[in-house]
Amino acid sequence: MKRLGIDTGGTFTDFVYSDGDTLLVHKVLSTPGAPDRAILQGIREMGIDLDDLLIVHGSTVATNAVLESKGVRTAYITNRGFADVLTIGRQARRELYNLTPEPRQPPVPRALCFETGGRISFDGEVLDPLTDEDLQRLREQVEQAGVEAVAINLLFSFVDDSAEKRIAAAMPEGVFVSRSSAVMNEFREYERGMATWLNAYVGPLMQRYLSRLSAELKPATVRVMQSHGGAIAAERAGEHAVQLLLSGPAGGLVGAKYQAAVSGHERLMTFDMGGTSTDVALIDGEIRLSGDAEIAGWPVAVPMVDMHTIGAGGGSIAWLDEGGMLQVGPQSAGASPGPACYGQGGRRATVTDANLLLGRLPGLASLGGSLRLDVTAAAAAIGRLAAAAGLAVEEMARGILRIADEHMAQALRVISIQKGHDPRDYALMCFGGAGGLHVCSLADLLGMDQAIVPMHGGVLSALGMVVAPQAQQRIHSRLQPLMESGEVGHDYEKMAAQLVSEFPENAALRFQRMADLRYVGQSSTLQLEWSDDREALAERFHALHKAQYGFDMDVPIELVNLRLRAEVNEPAVTLPVLAMAEAASPIATAPVADVGHDVPVYRREALADGQMLTGPAIMMENVSTTWIAPGWLAENDRYGNLMLRRV
């Protein structure tokens, strides 16, 4: 089947098309107010036939709705006495030493928090029955409140979800219903409630957006990328809206893992530098998932790719604080007006303007193959900032890049050194439109000797969507000592039956069983692949705990959560070998600051298999540019991936 991956970002919307023989890439400026406009524009410009086409889309609609507090009016239903759980939260203060912090509005207004019966104990005993009168009262309250969505979160619903199902069935027709037992079937009522509320808060928006997009893209089949790295059919994605909050970044990690694997690497530290932000992650054979993410300050405990995000991108704005110190980000110039060099009216200096002024991004480059860069506008924007700081223009540009690099290097330290991993044991892989301009300097800051610039790294998230499997996950809490037999096998079978119902009939599925374990008395867990050999599983847990935290303990181990991932067993997507047979010559030379001679400029797609280049050199392609710094050697492999190593 023909496949098209579409990643909607804050600045650009990226496209990767593959039919098994050819690979096409494209970029257009995003249209944040109506993301589908940019999607339709890109497909039209690429001339793609929608017949027999599979589209996998990474969407920011859910993320933006949460960040901008623009979800739908949502009611919250819980047991009697627990209406304030989401408001109280964990009583964590965002500003620990601020005695007069700015109050934050609760996720759900008190007037929309409704209490009812249906309370059970931890072992399923009914403590407060759910009556017909309760259901009738809830229906009337929801109708009078005029809400568009309802989030249902009863205590211990992961033990018995029958009361939640009865409440869902009693809701007025047309109201979007989100049950905690379907969204996040595990313990901790606050985190479960937040995930359920977020799912209801943005679910109707996603349903409307995806219904409209699917209609506009007929007869193509549309899937949506989820935060755990698997795609889901568009018609079901709205029901799992909370799973879409890291849709685009998850695609990037799937693409990074794929490209590194074909080039023989499994251990990666990745950074995805786009126009607005940079996402960093660590891949050690498999993409790591986390249940500790936050969006707009709200906890999101559903499985998501484990990454760290900072406000540093190509469009990050440089500015002087009240003390005259240079700062970079987190504010971004976005897609409109964008950096000053885009020539769309932007006047504030950005990281992209600094790269252009210093020559690492050559003036002959055109972003997306069509957007010409305005060096004069970039110089004027940086010049105004330099004048205010009393610095030379080039000195200010260098300062902007140094600060941006240090922000990203610190983020990479958070996911490596702070978690017990030595960066020198990994290869640094960059992607995103701006990643290739900073890969050598970040590797230098971290003492790393290897780096990878994947082919089409500027659209790697979209490429990840092309190769992403159709997959879904389930979680079930089972709190018990690890060495007790329990009903683990039965629980996995029950989850498997639920997952099978979410895929096309007769789909060939493969399952992966995982479990969250901890020492008795701990609150945090470690995730391992499940094994019926409990002794071997315990040994692996001790070893992982020691590697992660520096010690293990002679303490009983507790089983906390069971996880099951189902993946459609589809034929693997094979991308064409892109390297040319004959060594490429430079297409031009360009001046670069701090280099005593003009630097050769190459077209990335013209490089031959095995061709080697010694920095300094510039590698141009339609969707990104790579700066190979002095002291680095680049070798192009047969898949078009640039393998960098320190000379």
Question: CA torsion 549→554→555→557, rounded to 10°?
Answer: 70
Q: pTM for the whole thing?
A: 0.86
Same domain, 550 and 491: yes
User: Residue 302: inside a domain, yes or no?
Assistant: no
Same domain, 512 and 530: yes
Q: Which residues contact 28 (CB under 8 A, 6 or more apart)?
A: 12, 13, 15, 38, 41, 42, 45, 368
Question: What is the domain-level CATH number for residue 129?
Answer: 3.40.50
User: Residue 622: inside a domain, yes or no?
Assistant: no
* CA geometry: angle 290, 295, 297, nearest 5 deg: 110
Q: Does residue 578 carry a pLDDT above 80?
A: no
Q: What is the CA radius of gyration of the chain?
A: 26
Start-to-end CA span in the chain (Å): 43
Residues 213, 196, 419, 539: is their CA dihedral positive or negative?
Answer: negative
Residue 566's Cβ-side half-sphere holds a number of Cα atoms within 13 Å equal to 21
> For position 83, what pLDDT does the model report?
96
Cα→Cα distances 398→208, 309, 386, Å: 46, 23, 11
Same domain, 61 and 79: no
Same domain, 564 and 482: yes
- Give the pLDDT band of residue 22 (cuts 50, 70, 90): confident
> For position 539, what pLDDT does the model report?
96
User: Residue 8: inside a domain, yes or no?
Assistant: yes
User: Residue 235: inside a domain, yes or no?
Assistant: yes
Average of pLDDT values for 88-98? Answer: 85
465 SS3 class:
helix
Q: Of the ranges 376-390, 406-420, 564-578, which one carries the lowest mean pLDDT score?
A: 564-578
- What pLDDT, in 10s, does the model give residues 151-196? 999 999 999 999 999 999 999 999 999 999 999 998 899 999 999 9
User: Residue 612: inside a domain, yes or no?
Assistant: no
Q: Which helix (H) or strand (E) holds 190?
A: helix 189-216
Q: Does residue 579 carry a pLDDT above 60?
A: no
Same domain, 137 and 96: yes
> For position 485, what pLDDT does the model report?
67
301 closest CA partner among 429, 197, 415:
197
Cα 629 off chain centre by: 29
- Best-predicted range by mean pLDDT among 451-455, 572-576, 577-581? 451-455
User: Residue 499: inside a domain, yes or no?
Assistant: yes
Q: Which residue has the higher pLDDT, 493 or 94?
A: 493
Q: Which residues contact 564 (CB under 8 A, 6 or more apart)?
A: 473, 474, 492, 495, 496, 499, 511, 512, 513, 514
| Residue found by looking up tokens 């033990």 in the block | 159
Same domain, 124 and 29: no
- Give the pLDDT band of residue 638 (cuts 50, 70, 90): confident
Cα→Cα distances 495→106, 181, 475, 490, Å: 33, 12, 8, 9
- Give the pLDDT band of residue 420 (cuts 50, 70, 90): confident
CA distance 448 to 417: 13
Same domain, 58 and 85: no
Give 150's strand partners.
75, 177
Q: Report helix angle 189-216 to 35-46, nearest 10.
A: 40
Q: What is the DSSP letter of 243?
A: G
Q: Does residue 598 carry a pLDDT above 70?
A: yes
Q: Of the ranges 33-42, 59-68, 120-129, which one carries the lowest mean pLDDT score?
A: 59-68
Q: Of the ranges 353-357, 557-561, 591-595, 619-623, which one carries the lowest mean pLDDT score?
A: 619-623
Phi and psi angles of residue 305, each rounded to the nearest 5 degrees, phi first = -60, 140
Same domain, 81 and 193: yes
- Give the pLDDT band of residue 96 (cuts 50, 70, 90): confident
Same domain, 91 and 43: no
Do the Cβ atoms of 230 and 567 come closer than 8 Å? yes
Average of pLDDT values for 3-13? Answer: 87
- What pLDDT, in 10s, does the model give residues 513-553? 999 999 999 988 999 999 999 999 999 999 999 988 889 99
CA distance 205 to 7: 18
Q: Does residue 130 carry a pLDDT above 60?
A: yes
Q: Which residue has the higher pLDDT, 596 or 641?
A: 641
Average of pLDDT values for 462-490? Answer: 89
DSSP state letters, 421-452: --GGGSEEEEESTTGGGTHHHHHHHHT--EEE
CA distance 502 to 240: 11
121 SS3 class:
coil
Q: Of the ranges 70-79, 114-123, 557-566, 574-583, which one carries the lowest mean pLDDT score?
A: 574-583
CA distance 453 to 248: 19
User: Residue 334: inside a domain, yes or no?
Assistant: no
Based on the number of CB atoms within 10 Å of its own CB, is 613 exposed (0-12), middle (13-18) or buried (19 or more)?
Answer: buried
Same domain, 114 and 170: yes
> For position 268, what pLDDT does the model report?
95
Average of pLDDT values for 30-34? Answer: 85
Same domain, 89 and 127: yes
Q: For the chain, give the mean pLDDT.
A: 91
> For position 580, what pLDDT does the model report?
65
> For position 275, what pLDDT does the model report?
80
CA distance 539 to 547: 12
215 SS3 class:
helix
The number of folded domains in the chain is 3
User: Residue 595: inside a domain, yes or no?
Assistant: no
- What pLDDT, in 10s, does the model give residues 354-372? 999 999 999 887 665 567 8
Do the Cβ atoms of 202 and 62 come closer than 8 Å? yes
- What pLDDT, in 10s, does the model give residues 600-618? 999 988 898 889 999 899 9
Same domain, 40 and 99: no
> For position 433, what pLDDT does the model report?
82
> For position 321, what pLDDT does the model report?
92
Q: What domain range is 519 assigned to? A: 471-568
Q: Would residue 296 be called left, alpha or beta, if left means φ above 0 and alpha means ψ between -120 and 50 degrees?
A: left
Do the Cβ atoms of 444 and 495 come closer than 8 Å? no
CA distance 433 to 91: 40
Question: What is the domain-level CATH number for residue 243?
Answer: 3.30.420.40
> For position 551, what pLDDT does the model report?
92
